[in-house]
Amino acid sequence: MQSTLPASWYREPGFYQLERRAIFSKSWILVSHSHQFDEVGKYARYEIAGYPFFIIKDRTGNINAFLNVCRHRAVPIVHKDEGKASVLSCKYHGTGPHAILDHGDLADGDQAGPTAWMETWPKLLDLTNLGFIFINLDAAKEPTLSWEEQFGGVDKQPRLDNYDLSDYEYDHTWSMEGKFNWKTLIENYNECYHCPTAHPGLAPFFRNNKKMVYGCQKDWIEHRGAKGEERGSSVCPTYMFPNASVTLTPVFFYMMSIVPTSATTSLMRYEAYRSKSATPEQVKEKIDFFAQVEAEDKWLSNGSQANFNSDTYTTGPFHPEVEEAVTYVTQLVKKLLHGHVDEEKKRGQEWWPARRAPVQNSSEEDEAFCRGVCGNSVLSENRALEGLSW
């Protein structure tokens, strides 16, 4: 019988830093939908595992992603969760790709010109016909992982033919703070063994011990419903590794992101999109129902995490018949973490794929000096990764 990941994987700060390097620095991550950016200048601000960025629609109608970091002095470019801007510029010195600089002395000697202070660092993909937006924070010219490698086929599921996404529009975003590691709720999401017990509103749909069916492919999981029934036209959930899901219904669809904020805390973030043909009452009823389910899952995850933190629990068994999707997720996590550590051993130091190269004339000697003084401080201060001192 397979067992869960160890509790230490859900609480150790050093292990969380490894996840930031191995998973969130180089994976394609689902973050939004193009309906949110229906006008030129519309933007939304995000942060995932400590990496800040924003998405905006430009004058040509393209949707772009920027790190929310000015390359001059690292000040954020946008300061609100969402809004509309006609000009993007840093509020510190006025620098930016669309700013008109009247203090030319700053640009003197800068061969790249004033626009070098900010650039579209993350790679962004807008899914053909569906409009779901993924970003990749990898600083490499070509991401370490390709989108096709992770999600090829996710936008071609036959059950998606039941939905015309052009009939939906952005409604609102809401969030809840959770006292749990991001994996705690992701594992909760990928099994409904708990649904009859923990979700009174869902219990009527799980009579007679119905077994849920999952389609595990690449880095995504199709939640198909109970064996022997077709529910694609009424509800259509899909999990997308590492931390997101989309649930489509005829009345609205919502995107869930479990955003890591520390080793033991997360932000549960939701974007809701309503059907243009649905009444406000229908939309509110559906959103309230799903929000209640999410609140119940938050309560469960908070409870599990509290005992992970207590060091009284180590591992538990997976149910061999109804938790195959959770097992699949844990294997994805382990594969990326072990692969990244192997690469770090070859390099002889930590590898941060999202870290940008220093600007011209910056001293690598200064960076090396800091590394020599600090060593791998995260690894040495937290004993989660003993034996990985370079």
Tell me which residue has tokens 């997976």: 318
Where in the sequence is the domain holding 295, given as residue range(s)?
1-10+143-326
Per-residue pLDDT, 119: 52
78 and 102 share a domain? yes
Rounded to an integer, what distance in angstroms lies between the CA atom of residue 222 and that of residue 150? 14
Least confident of 129-143, 282-296, 374-388: 374-388
Rounded to an integer, what distance in angstroms lies between the CA atom of residue 153 and that of residue 148? 8
Q: Is residue 335 part of a domain?
A: no
Per-residue pLDDT, 210: 63
Per-residue pLDDT, 117: 46
Rounded to an integer, what distance in angstroms lies between the CA atom of residue 55 and that of residue 71? 17
Hey, what are 154's tokens? 């996710």
Beta bridge partners, 43, equal 56, 83
Rounded to an integer, what distance in angstroms lies between the CA atom of residue 47 and that of residue 79? 12
237 and 196 share a domain? yes
How much is the pTM?
Answer: 0.88
153 and 84 share a domain? no
**Roughly what angle, to the nearest 10 degrees, separates helices 182-189 and 324-347?**
140
Least confident of 87-96, 113-122, 209-218, 313-322: 113-122
111 and 52 share a domain? yes
pLDDT-derived band at 362, boundaries 50, 70, 90? low
65 and 204 share a domain? no
Q: 241-278: buried (b, 16+ CB within 10 Å) or exposed (e) per residue?
A: bbbbbbbbbbbbbbbbbbbbbebbebbbbbbbbbbeeb
162 and 200 share a domain? yes
Residue 294 pLDDT exceeds 50: yes
152 and 131 share a domain? no
Given 142, 163, 185, the domain boundary residue is 142
pLDDT-derived band at 142, boundaries 50, 70, 90? confident
190 and 68 share a domain? no
Given 142, 177, 194, the domain boundary residue is 142
Distances (CA, A) of 99 to 43, 77, 89: 17, 12, 5
Tens of pLDDT, residue by residue over 13-60, are: 999 999 999 999 999 999 999 999 999 999 999 999 999 999 999 888
Tell me which residue has tokens 């203090």: 103
Percent of the chain with pLDDT over 70: 82
Q: DSSP for 235-292?
A: -EEEEETTTEEEEE-SSEEEEEEEEE-SSS-EEEEEEEEEETTS-HHHHHHHHHHHHH
CB 85 within 8 Å of CB 56 = yes
Residue 135 pLDDT exceeds 60: yes
Rounded to an integer, what distance in angstroms lies between the CA atom of residue 175 and that of residue 185? 14
Hey, what are 232's tokens? 């694609």
174 and 303 share a domain? yes
Counting the structural domains of the chain, the total is 2
Distances (CA, A) of 75 to 12, 51, 231, 280: 30, 14, 47, 40
Hey, what are 123's tokens? 């790679």
172 and 288 share a domain? yes
Per-residue pLDDT, 75: 86
Considering 345-349, 370-374, 378-382, the range whose residues carry the highest mean pLDDT is: 345-349
Hey, what are 109's tokens? 């000697």
In this structure, how many other beta carbons lie within 10 angstroms of the beta carbon of residue 339?
11
Per-residue pLDDT, 21: 98
270 and 169 share a domain? yes
Classify the C-alpha dihedral 157-270-173-139 as positive or negative.
Answer: negative
Cα-Cα end-to-end distance for the chain = 35
Per-residue pLDDT, 103: 31
CATH number, domain containing residue 278: 3.90.380.10
Per-residue pLDDT, 61: 87
Classify the C-alpha dihedral 347-353-355-361 as positive or negative.
Answer: positive
Rounded to an integer, what distance in angstroms lies between the CA atom of residue 371 and that of residue 375? 5
